[in-house]
Amino acid sequence: MAAAEGNKLWGGRFSGSTDPIMERLNASISYDQRLSEVDIQGSMAYAKALEKSGILSKTELEKILGGLEKISEEWSKGVFGVIPTDEDIHTANERRLKELIGDVAGKLHTGRSRNDQVVTDLKLFMRNSLSIISRHLLRLIETLVERAAIEIDVILPGYTHLQKAQPIRWSQFLLSHAVALTRDSERLGEVKRRINVLPLGSGALAGNPLGIDRELLCNELDFASISLNSMDAVSERDFVVEFLSAATLLMIHLSKMAEDLIIYSTSEFGFLTLSDAYSSGSSLMPQKKNPDSLELIRSKAGRVFGRLAAILMVLKGLPSTYNKDLQEDKEAVFDVVDTLTWCIFCNTESRAPDCSQIKTPQCLTHTAHFGSPLPAAQGLRAFL
């Protein structure tokens, strides 16, 4: 039995109904409801632009804004009722708005396409998420720097090829990771700068013919600039690829740090002890303390890279302007935002490394440095 078309934003020219299987394939409300708040923000700004252009009266604007505020409150309280015909977050919000204020709700979509609406929503969501992720990342960097200063006198073996090489300070190890994460922070800042370009007002692909003031939209939504070409604006997902690329590098760095800490926490190395709060045990071997949090962080790097590879494959074959393939971008972004947040939060506690196991390989360089030829130094090692 075919599904009803009643609430669809695009159903006007259709006489038949959509097959239920197509409904399930097409629907995105199960995950894009995360855009509920930014979708309402965009609609409020667009309503103000419609009022300025004369399409909405002052009274109509007030009714629409009041209805949108009520919907926002319902989402925040977790009482918004999604129904089966809500195809996506835009359909759901506009359906509910009509229930609250009547037919005037239909005016809100005048001159606006879901093509420019959804990319605006996604940019708003990502801009907010990047601000949060960047703050947490900076705190992690600060923590590494603080620990490096406190534990500057701790010495431990440095490794190349996983073989003991030279003594290093524990602080140097910590700061090596802090420097890499600083580059990640800079990259996220660059991504945020390119996200901060307003696409709203581009319509489906050919712009908005109704005299919508895009400067007003830009100011209302706090974008830094306005998109230059409507065909590009509704379809470009460079900012998604850049975010996923930066996230992949960040996860590679977190994975490397996790791997180092896993190795250093083994009984064979014994340089540090992991917090009980971020470890687990064995049901068979009670003496074990497993670094599950670090192992999960290490594995998540592959997950994030997979999201990047997937969206690149989606984009590589698309023609110009909007195509439904782009619906894949949101799940990738949501998943990576959550993964980054979780991994940055999941900190470990360590004690000062126990370096009593350091023996003579690291002494060779220093012996040679103070005047003994390296072969003689190697001979000296045999007696140590």
Nearest by Cα to 106 from 8, 209, 222? 8
CA-to-CA separations, 17 to 4, 6, 26, 92, 327, in angstroms, rounded: 6, 10, 14, 19, 22
Q: What residue type is 240 in one-letter code? A: V
352 and 170 Cβ atoms separated by less than 8 Å: yes
63 and 101 Cβ atoms separated by less than 8 Å: yes
Residue the block writes with tokens 């494959």: 313
Q: Which residues sit opposite 163 in a β-bridge?
A: 160
Count the Cβ atoms, other than its own, within 10 Å of residue 77. 8
Residue the block writes with tokens 């009722």: 81
Determine the Cα–Cα distance for residues 110 and 112; give it in Å rounded to an integer: 5
263 and 298 Cβ atoms separated by less than 8 Å: no
CA-to-CA separations, 374 to 118, 168, 370, 381, in angstroms, rounded: 66, 20, 10, 10
Report helix, strand or coil for 189. helix
Both tokens of 167, joined, read 């003594």
Q: What residue type is 312 in one-letter code? A: L
In our burial notation (b when 16+ CB lie closer than 10 A, e otherwise), range 78-89 reads: eebeeeebbbbb
Count the Cβ atoms, other than its own, within 10 Å of residue 40. 21
Distance in Å from the first CA to the final CA of the chain: 84
The catalytic residue positions are 161, 282
